[in-house]
Amino acid sequence: MTWTHKNLLGLEGLSREEITFILDTAERFHEVLDRPIPLVPALRGKTILNMFYEPSTRTATSFAMAAKRLSADVVGFSKASSSVKKGETLLDTVRTIESMRVDGVVIRHSCPGAARFIAQRIDAFVINAGDGAHEHPTQGLLDLSAARKRLESFEGRHLVVVGDITHSRVARSAIYGFSTMGAEITVCGPATLIPPHFKKAFPNVGIETDFDRLLADADMIMMLRLQLERQGKGLFPSIREYRKLYCLTAERIKKAKPDVVVMHPGPMNRGIEIEPAVADGPNSVVLAQVRAGVAVRMAVLYILAGGELEH
């Protein structure tokens, strides 16, 4: 297929064909990553700027690794060590760095829409690495990539997303991505962590507050990180209560299908939203998700940069 988008700002609006194209391209890079020397010259001469205005372990590392595996030059940038501290605006910062001839910008920012704002103002392609509670598209793609290895097709499969739906960009990208690929989706969590406008925004997504009622019918369960920084803001009574109602425990997983796929974007609060026995158990694809992250990000960089793949 012919790719027509300059940027990857979200999974909203991408077609099934486009998502499949990225996932299939990522499969080719999985093969590259399995080689003794996991390196291809596809983006030689290109420069990728990684701008992380929020903390990140997985996304920042895997974007840097993906660009290096494609032979691109990678420039890292963090808020703490930049002139942002001196009051420089986001746009001035990006324009300053772009004038040094950057081909692509990967940006994580706390403001929803930050990646779009930049993309509309610079020539380099932009990849959204998480913008506030809006979207985290490469996370959605790596979730699909890891789950696809277990399920093959998403048509008619049931994805249950559990946790803080209101504040989760991971949940939003999962909803767009998995529903486009044919899955049915139910979100689950305390009513205070599901936005009041959710049903209007996502009329085809189910809402449930009782996790136990969903277990038997789920093909995939995505546990979200409980954002502990929100504790004390009245959104859930206590961690003990949350754990009792929403933790994916060894007891709960016994009530699910034997081959249910368990996902978590990380970082995990072990023992709060997921028990270690489940996180490290046979249903879990948590580490496969991290591994898929490198291949998926290689695919996205490669597609947006218009790279040449040699074998």
Should residue 209 be labelled a site residue for ligand CP when binding is judged by CB under 6 A?
no
**Least CB distance to ligand CP at residue 138 (A):** 9
How far, in Å, are 104, 223, 245 from residue 240 at the CA level?
44, 17, 9
Q: Tokens 């959204």 — which residue? A: 128
Is residue 56 part of the contact set for ligand CP (CB under 6 A)? yes
Interaction of residue 145 with ligand CP, rule CB under 6 A: no
Indicate the residue among 189 and 265 with the shorter CB distance to ligand CP: 265
User: Is 255 within 8 Å of 215 (Cβ atoms)?
Assistant: yes
C-alpha distance from residue 278 to each of 54, 214, 263, 271 (Å): 29, 17, 10, 10
Provide the minimum distance between the beta carbon of 265 and ligand CP in the complex, in angstroms, as a whole number: 4
| Residue 202 token pair | 């996502």
- To ligand CP, the closest distance from the beta carbon of 266 in angstroms equals 5
| Site track 58-87 with ligand CP (rule: CB under 6 A), x = hit | xx----------------------------
Distance (Å, rounded) from C-alpha 139 to C-alpha 299?
A: 13
- Counting runs of H as helices and runs of E as strands, what totals does the chain give? 11, 9
Which residue stretch of 19-27, 32-40, 193-201, 262-270 sits at the interface with ligand CP (rule: CB under 6 A)? 262-270
Whether residue 212 contacts residue 252, with contact meaning beta carbons closer than 8 Å, is answered with: yes
Minimum distance of ligand CP from residue 264's CB (angstroms) = 9
Select the span of 3-11, 42-50, 212-220, 259-267 touching ligand CP (CB under 6 A): 259-267
User: What phi-psi label fits residue 301: left (phi over 0), alpha (psi between -120 and 50 degrees) or beta?
Assistant: alpha
Footprint (CB under 6 A) of ligand CP, residues 95-134: 130
Give residues in contact with ligand CP (CB under 6 A): 56-59, 130, 136, 139, 265-267
